[in-house]
């Protein structure tokens, strides 16, 4: 999540936005949920605190749908992107928000990013996020991914592009 937040901030900066990106680790133990924030604005960003009322939430691990209040503070009408397996029904979620899903695990694994058991989904999820968020274009996201991916640049770009195409709004 931390890398995805940084990629988002760099893509938004590439488009001329002011940005701030920072992680929050909470309980630092292996497997603990990690939160990362990205603030994007046309004006200079002076607020360096955590984001308590986000416009968007991205869930990289669907196991967090149970036991973690991932919707805490999300503005009414906010958007939620969830890495969720294709063909599996989402659990019931509050109607106050718009939900989108994409199987970032399958996409990352298909492109050889990480392993089949432990795919690395950062770039795929950011491709999907560029579809959900009107502020950051897919082109800016792909250029940023190509610039920052340490290895497998083509595979990461292809995964992000496929994720953009496969991101779907969840309808009742």
Give the total number of structural domains in the chain.
1
Measured CA to CA, the distance from residue 147 to residue 156 in angstroms comes to 11
By the 8 A CB rule, do 146 and 153 touch?
yes
The answer to the question of residue 41 being in a domain is no
The answer to the question of residue 27 being in a domain is no
Nearest to 159 by CA among 117, 127, 134, 132: 127
Token pair recorded at residue 103: 């199987």
In the chain the beta strands, taken as DSSP E runs, fall at 18-24, 35-41, 56-59, 79-83, 98-102, 168-169
Summarize pLDDT for 93-143 with one digit per residue, the tens.
888 999 999 999 999 999 999 998 999 999 999 999 999 998 899 999 999
The answer to the question of residue 36 being in a domain is no
**Alpha-carbon dihedral 141, 142, 143, 147, rounded to 10 degrees:** 100
- pTM attached to this predicted model: 0.90
Q: What residue numbers bound the domain in which 137 lies?
A: 46-169
Helix intervals (H) in 20-152: 104-110, 122-132, 138-148
Measured CA to CA, the distance from residue 141 to residue 161 in angstroms comes to 9
**What is the arithmetic mean of pLDDT over 16-45?**
78
The answer to the question of residue 4 being in a domain is no
Measured CA to CA, the distance from residue 96 to residue 157 in angstroms comes to 33
Confidence of residue 48 (pLDDT cuts 50, 70, 90): confident
- CATH code (residue 96): 3.40.920.10
């Amino acid at each position: 999540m931390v890398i995805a937040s940084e990629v988002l901030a760099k893509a938004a900066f590439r488009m001329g936005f002011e940005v701030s990106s920072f992680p929050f680790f909470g309980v630092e133990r292996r497997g603990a949920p990690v939160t990362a924030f990205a603030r994007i604005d046309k004006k200079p960003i002076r607020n360096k605190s955590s984001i308590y009322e986000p416009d968007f939430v991205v869930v990289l691990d669907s196991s967090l749908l149970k036991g973690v209040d991932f919707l805490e503070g999300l503005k009414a009408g906010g958007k939620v992107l969830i890495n969720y397996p294709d063909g599996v029904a989402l659990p019931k979620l509050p109607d106050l928000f718009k939900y989108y899903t994409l199987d970032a695990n399958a996409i990352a694994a298909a492109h050889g990013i990480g392993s089949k058991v432990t795919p690395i989904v950062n770039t795929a999820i950011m491709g999907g996020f560029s579809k959900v968020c009107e502020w950051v274009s897919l082109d800016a996201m792909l250029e940023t991914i190509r610039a920052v991916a340490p290895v497998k640049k083509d595979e990461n770009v292809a995964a992000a592009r496929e994720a953009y195409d496969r991101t779907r709004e969840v309808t009742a």
